[in-house]
Amino acid sequence: MTFSLFLSYFFFVLQLLLNSLIILVGILLTVAFYTLAERKVMAGVQRRKGPNVIGFWGVLQPLVDGLKLVLKENIIPVKADKMLFIMAPMISFVLAFSAWALIPFQNIGILSDLNIGLLFLFALSSLGVYGIILGGWASNSKYAFLGALRSTAQMISYEIILGVIFLSICILVGSINLYDILAAQHQIWFCIPLWPFLIVFVIAMLAETNRAPFDLPEAEAEIVAGYNVEYSGIAFALFFLAEYSNMLLFSALFSILFLGGGAPFLNYTGIIVFIVKSLIIAASFIVIRAGLPRLRYDQLMIKSWTILLPAVFLFFLFIVFFMWIKLF
């Protein structure tokens, strides 16, 4: 290997590392201030003040919360399965954050441009169940175990709906590359022709990220806090970060699939447009949490299997029929 080749390779790797560092730090900061935004908006809806002590208007509250969680003692229950107990939050955290490598911030790939981008995101979200189910089982507590079982059943059943939605978008575009999906929306955003999917996607998105009104895994009144009852300190922080990162990821995915991402603009304006779109959807997560009551568990499952899934399949068949007609 010549020296120049080695140098170019070195700079390629360095650029890749720097890019991933930028994305990672950016996402971590966004998640931190997203929690603050959630508390502020919830307080506004409920006519409270919210966090307002630390920093100017309570802006530094998430940093102090993070510091508290890091300094807190990490308690491992005596009868818990130690290895799995420690591994479970790591699994959720890594899977939640590795998905960000695929998100197209620009029109040119920042980190990666896989041909199987959408499928890869789907695979990561389906592997995310393991963190929850292992955390619930390893902590050897009934509340945690029941929460984990509920959460797993819920995520698996709503994953099918998400899968059908992804599939029909792939059929329309003719590719599973995220950049091709963006390029297909230059004429019209998919939220207009595919509005039934948009409604179902919002519901499935809320259920997949375990958010209100589908936050049954952590129903405070019934099963104290679900799968993460026994966790404290940095392990709890990892679960927390993974959950909020997943919410932001799904809002980014929503803006890619239905709102065109940063598609019409080239380069750096595209990033801003994309981020603004995603943040508006992320804010709607909070407003939905403030406004809607929680569903009962059987209602949730019945809605998934008897109403949403047949409806989505029906519309999927319609799309296939439409594409078949277009062939002639």
The answer to whether the beta carbons of residues 153 and 213 sit under 8 Å apart is: no
Token couple for 184:
């297909």
Binding string, 177-216, against other proteins, x = CB under 8 A? --x-------------------------------------
The answer to whether the beta carbons of residues 31 and 241 sit under 8 Å apart is: yes
Nearer to other proteins, 133 or 311 (CB): 133
The answer to whether the beta carbons of residues 102 and 114 sit under 8 Å apart is: yes
Q: Does 250 bind other proteins (CB under 8 A)?
A: no
Q: Which of 99, 102, 162, 176 binds other proteins (CB under 8 A)?
A: 176
Q: How far, in Å, are 139, 208, 233, 239 from residue 211 at the CA level?
A: 22, 8, 22, 14
Binding string, 292-311, against other proteins, x = CB under 8 A? --------------------
Q: Does 119 bind other proteins (CB under 8 A)?
A: yes
State the residue for tokens 């695929």.
102
Q: Does 112 bind other proteins (CB under 8 A)?
A: yes
Q: In 3-state terms, what secondary structure has residue 186?
A: coil
Applying CB under 8 A, which part among 67-75, 109-117, 273-281, 286-294 lies near other proteins? 109-117
Question: How far is it, in rounded angstroms, from Cα 209 to Cα 46?
Answer: 23
* Max CA separation in the chain (angstroms): 67
Which residues, numbered 214-233, are part of the site for other proteins (CB under 8 A)? none
Applying CB under 8 A, which part among 138-146, 199-207, 267-275, 312-320 lies near other proteins? 138-146
Q: Which of 6, 10, 17, 113 binds other proteins (CB under 8 A)?
A: 113
Binding string, 50-89, against other proteins, x = CB under 8 A? ----------------------------------x-----
The answer to whether the beta carbons of residues 105 and 266 sit under 8 Å apart is: no
Applying CB under 8 A, which part among 38-46, 62-70, 128-136, 292-300 lies near other proteins? 128-136
> What is the DSSP track for 38-101?
HHHHHHHHTT---S-SSSGGGTTHHHHHHHHHHHS-----TTS-HHHHHHHHHHHHHHHHHGGG
Q: Which of 152, 191, 275, 303 binds other proteins (CB under 8 A)?
A: 152
Q: How far, in Å, are 62, 139, 212, 247 from residue 69 at the CA level?
A: 10, 19, 24, 21
247: alpha, beta or left? (left if phi > 0; alpha if psi -120 to 50): alpha
Nearer to other proteins, 170 or 279 (CB): 170
CB of 314 to other proteins, least distance (A): 20
Applying CB under 8 A, which part among 18-26, 40-48, 114-122, 185-193 lies near other proteins? 114-122
Q: Which of 8, 115, 269, 299 binds other proteins (CB under 8 A)?
A: 115
DSSP run (H or E) holding 309:
helix 309-327
Nearer to other proteins, 145 or 231 (CB): 145
Binding site residues, other proteins, CB under 8 A: 84, 108-109, 112-116, 119-120, 122-123, 126-127, 129-130, 133-134, 137, 142, 145-146, 149, 152-153, 156, 159, 176, 179
